[in-house]
Amino acid sequence: MKQRTLSLILAFGTVVLWSTGFVFTRIAVRDISPFPLGLLRYGSAALLLIGIGFAKRIGMPSKHDIPLFLILGALGFFFYQILFNIAMTTISAATASVVTATVPVITALFASLVFKEKLGTLGWIAVAIEFLGILILTFAKREVSLGWGLVWMLAAALCFAAYNLIQRFAKTRYTSLQSTVYTITASCFMFLAFLPQAIAEITTSPLSSLLAVLFMGIFPSAIGFLLWTKALSLATQIGDVTNFMFVTPLLSTILAILLIGEFPDSGTLWGGMTILLGLAIFNNRRHLMFATRPIR
């Protein structure tokens, strides 16, 4: 199997697993607070990954790379998960997944600023369309809770976009397994501040919420990020992998309807379609520019 084909398969598998995270988070946050939820989710993921790491004898990271993994753990898991969990207490799984699908665009914007990668005219038009979609999502219901939920979700998306960029520096010296284990374990040390609250809430939470947390720790978190990091390491261009986040809203919406009966409102539908239009233009801007180029 070609390397690029394998990276695409891994990326699609990751997005499928991540799509379940939106729905199961909605289940868990009914009974578990956002901060201890992060500890329980990534604590269970870290235990599984550390076990795999010992079995594979991956060793320890170099001392001078520890700050790198602390930064990755903070952006990709600690701050991202806290902001994500807070947002999920006020917005639907469909809305959250639409906002998260903007991560590839935010990543590209960061790359244009940090690495001087050019977006082009169509790229900026796509960004403007997506911003319009965010405004529709924010003001459709005219509720403060939805607006603040979007603010938290956008902040989470910014953290994850930064994580994707900084991950480049880790993949040059470490395998995907090493990077995932070190990063998630680093985030768990940060989450330990919420251990007393987590222990207290475990004793009062129903089994359904605890099983939802365990599922998220194993599948969207541990297995999902193993597949994601591997896909990034195999891909020739980061966009080949991040493009698959484009299908997250569709998968999350279907799962939300099937599992918890959460149907998207009109604001999510119109705002989501606007954002997805912007994403489609952005992700295919090079092909569109080539197709509209005059033949000489």
Mean pLDDT of the 269-273 span: 77
Mean pLDDT of the 131-158 span: 70
pLDDT in tens, 2-22: 776 788 788 888 888 988 888
Mean pLDDT of the 129-156 span: 69
- Scanning 91-143, the segments in alpha helix (DSSP H) are 93-100, 103-114, 120-139
pLDDT in tens, 185-200: 999 999 999 999 999 9
- Residue 286 lies inside a defined structural domain of this protein: no
Q: What percent of the chain has pLDDT over 70?
A: 82
Number of Cβ within a 10 Å radius of residue 118: 8
Domain extent for 54: 3-91+146-262
- Residue 275 lies inside a defined structural domain of this protein: no
Which distant-in-sequence residues (6+ apart) come within 8 Å of 209 by Cβ?
Answer: 27, 28, 30, 31, 32
Mean pLDDT of the 16-34 span: 88
- Residue 279 lies inside a defined structural domain of this protein: no
Mean pLDDT of the 202-217 span: 93
Question: Which residue is listed with tokens 């594979």?
Answer: 56
pLDDT at 175: 87
- Residue 47 lies inside a defined structural domain of this protein: yes
| Highest mean pLDDT of the ranges 82-91, 121-130, 280-289 | 82-91
pLDDT at 71: 96
Q: Considering only 43-52, 83-92, 219-228, which range has the smallest mean pLDDT?
A: 83-92
For residue 239, how far is the Cα from the chain centroid?
A: 15
- Residue 223 lies inside a defined structural domain of this protein: yes
Report the mean per-residue pLDDT for the chain: 81
- Residue 177 lies inside a defined structural domain of this protein: yes
Mean pLDDT of the 267-285 span: 75
Confidence of residue 250 (pLDDT cuts 50, 70, 90): low
- Residue 202 lies inside a defined structural domain of this protein: yes
- Residue 215 lies inside a defined structural domain of this protein: yes
**SS3 category, 177:** helix
pLDDT at 100: 76
| Domain count for the chain | 1
Which distant-in-sequence residues (6+ apart) come within 8 Å of 127 by Cβ?
Answer: 105, 109, 119, 278, 282
Max CA pair span of the chain: 72
pLDDT in tens, 216-248: 999 999 999 889 888 877 776 666 666 667 667
- Rounded Cα distance between 137 and 132, Å, is 9
Give the type of residue at 125: I
